[in-house]
Amino acid sequence: MINVGLNHFLIVSGILFSLGLYAVVTRKNAVMVLMGIELILNAANINFIAFSKFGNLGLTGQVTALFVIVLAAAEAAIALAIVLNIYKTFNNVNVDEIDHLKD
């Protein structure tokens, strides 16, 4: 059995982060963007847990991971509410067309 070490965790986390980032950057649908963000958050969680096991963080990493999960839930709730509001306003959840920040 191969010894699963820190590097493996980091690689998984990296792939996950990259996929999440890719989703955030390329998806047009706001919901998909949110999903990407969830992926990124989870990639971060994996890192926390990995460093908690292999690094000298102790339990702090796991606690932080839990905290992030809660945070992600809250974030998802608020973000979806925003997306709903956007949909109400613009009749659309396509992020390309919602560029009012520019003005």
Q: Which residues bind another protein (CB under 8 A)?
A: 21, 24-26, 33, 95-96, 98-103
SS3 29: strand
Instruction: Considering the complex, state which of residue 17 and residue 49 has its C-beta at the smaller distance from another protein.
Output: 17
Instruction: Considering the complex, state which of residue 53 and residue 86 has its C-beta at the smaller distance from another protein.
Output: 86
Locus of tokens 């999960």? 69
Q: How far from chain centre, in Å, is Cα 4?
A: 24
CB 55, min distance to another protein, A: 18
Locus of tokens 């608020």? 78
CB 95, min distance to another protein, A: 6
Please, what is the end-to-end C-alpha distance for the chain in angstroms?
A: 58
CB 74, min distance to another protein, A: 19
